[in-house]
Amino acid sequence: MVDPDEFKQKIEKAISQDYKVEFLGRNFDQIVRLLNETKAEKIYM
């Protein structure tokens, strides 16, 4: 299971420090918890 807060931080860092990223509203945490580490790593790259 992927931690939603850590996922957000990695994506924000990958995109840019200058942007605030909005993620899928209220359902974001639930959606991220469904990801396995392999899928999450593919998104980070």
Model pLDDT, residue 11:
82
Model pLDDT, residue 23:
62
Q: What is the pTM of this model?
A: 0.42
Model pLDDT, residue 10:
84
Along the 45 residues of the chain, how does pLDDT read in single tens digits?
A: 889 888 888 887 777 656 556 666 778 888 888 899 898 888 877
Domain count, the chain: 1
DSSP class per residue in the chain:
---HHHHHHHHHHHH-TT-PPP-SGGGHHHHHHT--HHHHHHHH-
Model pLDDT, residue 20:
59
**14: domain range?**
4-44
